[in-house]
Amino acid sequence: MQQEEQEQVNPGNQAAEELFQALGGRISPELLVHALTHRSFAHEHPGMPNNERLEFLGDAVLELVATETLYKVHPDMTEGQLAKMRAKAVSEEALSAIARQKLHLGQYILLGRGESENGGADKDSILCDTVESLIGSVFVEHGIEGARTTVHTLLDDTLAEVATEGPALDWKTSITVKAHKLGLGEPRYAMAVSGPEYAQVFTAELRLEDGGTVIGKGRASSKRKAQLAAAAQGWKRLDDQDLLAALRAEQSA
């Protein structure tokens, strides 16, 4: 390993001490390097293990602690509600945000030259996987109690936040349920794509029946995100009594 890479993850330096503080626990130098080693770096350094097995372990520990926390904190919620909150809390989006905001993790990850040049240190997938590998390494060294402390340190704010989001956990399901309760039609999404292939923009228009009034519109970098944005807008607009009257008139016609 090159000298600068050794210094980057040396647990005795100030940056690594800040990482340990953010994690809520310490791990050995060897395990720390292991947890931070992306497969692209290991490929360029034969014989060096990557962090994928630790990621696999950390993912399971993360789900366990998140599940037991939600189960205890929300005794009146159904299995379906708890599952949606857990999925949101441990999603790639949530974990990559934790990696950036709490751990400032990009500076520590050991990446191969090509991955590094392609911005790998700020990719959601790599950040998310590395958070999981760090949780796995804490479990290896300190067992479930140590890992539980780390998960609570990293995730409790997120677990509290998702409990307040309500329908935002699943806007597409929520708009369907609300439309049915109001006696309206089934949500339909019309999609359009614009922009160059490397930077496509998806636009979704939401109607409650084919050819009806557009009640929600969303633009995003993926089809799913555009539809979620349209569903969120449509869900809120169904509180407008004038719109409801117009939609019912359309349905009668």
Active site residues: 59, 132
The answer on whether 209 is annotated among ligand-binding residues is no
Q: The dihedral of CA 59, 61, 62, 66: what is its sign? A: positive
What is the phi/psi pair of residue 29, to 5°? -55, -45
Which residue in 93, 39, 45, 90 sits closest to 64, CA to CA?
Answer: 90
The answer on whether 5 is annotated among ligand-binding residues is no
Place of tokens 């998960």: 151
How many CA atoms lie less than 13 Å away from 99 in the CB half-sphere? 28
Q: How far apart are CA 86 and CA 78, in angstroms?
A: 12
CB 30 within 8 A of CB 51: no
> The tokens of 212 are what?
């009806």
CB 202 within 8 A of CB 220: yes
Integer CA distances (angstroms), 114 to 36, 39, 106, 171, in order: 17, 12, 15, 38
CB 1 within 8 A of CB 24: no
Residue 253 CB contacts under 8 Å (≥ 6 apart), including other chains:
none
Q: How many CB atoms lie within 10 A of CB 90?
A: 23
Q: How far apart are CA 245 and CA 17, in angstroms?
A: 61
The answer on whether 240 is annotated among ligand-binding residues is no
List residues forming the annotated binding site: 55, 129, 132
List residues forming the annotated binding site for Mg(2+): 55, 129, 132
